[in-house]
Structure 1
Amino acid sequence: MTNDTISDMLTRIRNGNLVGHKVVKIDSTRMNYQLIKLLCAEGLIRQYETVIKDGRQFIFVYLKYSNNSSRPIIRGLKRVSKPGLRVYVSNNQIPTILGGQGLAILSTSKGIITNLKAKDLGIGGELLFYIW
């Protein structure tokens, strides 16, 4: 069992993309489920499904690749807020990632949302990770 399930999830997705896997298996937590759901809604992964295996619940994440090549849609992931050092931003401190080509994922009072939606709502929160 890992202390930082979000970092573990991001590492599994990153490693799966590097070697060209179609599916990665992630431990199911409420936070991981919400993050995967958001990534699917943003079009960064193909789909996901929850599976119970040996009494434990997992999320199978189907990674997305470019149509004309085997290049992954997700180019990079960077964890920002960690268990040892939480990073919070207000609504005017929300970063723009790669000139708007990437996303920052935040945990706010309105749930797990992207930096674009947080700017629209005018709220800040905990800056979880960057994805591009």
Structure 2
Amino acid sequence: MDQIANMVNMVKNGGRASHEFVTVPFSKIKYAIAECLVKEGYLTSATKKTKKGFPILELGIAYVDGAPKVNEVERVSKSSRRVYKGMKDIRYTKGGNLITVFSTPKGIMTDKQARKEMVGGEVLFKMW
């Protein structure tokens, strides 16, 4: 199973169910993605904890006027089909609600950060 898709779908479903936090199994890439989403305001917190001897990641879900900030998630690059974009192929998004998360040589970052750093990479998912 795709662990990144599982994590972002748990955030989306947790928001729809009005949960304050969701927990997912810890990994370095999931923690980096969570930190990126905290910077963008889609999560309120990302904390590494231990539960029954296993590391977990506790994610605080962000709400705007009682509605979850994460409305939809689309996984772009999958294990069966990897999708890469160069720096010149990263488009600007109108309205500012949509973010695209990339895995680049400089780490996990959003489309805005990737354009600023002038790097491309693997498109992980889109979130709005």
Pairwise same-fold verdict (TM > 0.5): yes
1:43-89 CA distance string (max 9 Å, x none): 111112111111211111111112xx321112221110001100000
Q: More strand by proportion, 1 or 2? A: 2
Q: 1:97·1:104 contact (CA, 8 Å) conserved in 2?
A: no
Of 102, 109, 112, 1:106 maps to 102
Identity %: 30
Aligned to 1:93: 89
Q: Which moved more, 1:79-88 or 1:115-124?
A: 115-124
Task: Kindly indicate whether residue 79 of structure 2 is the aligned counterpart of residue 83 of structure 1.
Answer: yes
Q: Secondary structure at the match of 1:74?
A: coil
Number of matched pairs: 128
Q: 1:95·1:104 contact (CA, 8 Å) conserved in 2?
A: no
Paired amino acid for 1:102? L
In the TM superposition, what is the alpha-carbon distance from 1:97 to its structure 2 partner?
A: 3.8
Q: Which runs of 5+ in 1 are unaligned?
A: none
Task: Kindly indicate whether residue 48 of structure 2 is the aligned counterpart of residue 50 of structure 1.
Answer: yes
Aligned to 2:32: 34
Q: Secondary structure at the match of 1:100?
A: coil
> Please, what is the CA RMSD of the aligned residues?
1.3
Aligned partners of 1:125, 1:103: CA distance in 2, in Å? 15
TM-score, with length taken from structure 2: 0.93
In the TM superposition, what is the alpha-carbon distance from 1:98 to its structure 2 partner?
A: 4.8
Of 10, 19, 22, 1:12 maps to 10
Q: 1:96·1:103 contact (CA, 8 Å) conserved in 2?
A: no
In the TM superposition, what is the alpha-carbon distance from 1:99 to its structure 2 partner?
A: 4.3
Q: 2:48·2:57 contact (CA, 8 Å) conserved in 1?
A: yes
Q: Secondary structure at the match of 1:85?
A: coil
In the TM superposition, what is the alpha-carbon distance from 1:96 to its structure 2 partner?
A: 3.3
Q: Which runs of 5+ in 2 are unaligned?
A: none
Aligned to 2:121: 125
Q: Secondary structure at the match of 2:30?
A: helix
Paired amino acid for 1:22? E
In the TM superposition, what is the alpha-carbon distance from 1:117 to its structure 2 partner?
A: 1.3
TM-score, with length taken from structure 1: 0.90
Structure 1 ranges of 4+ moved more than 6 A: none
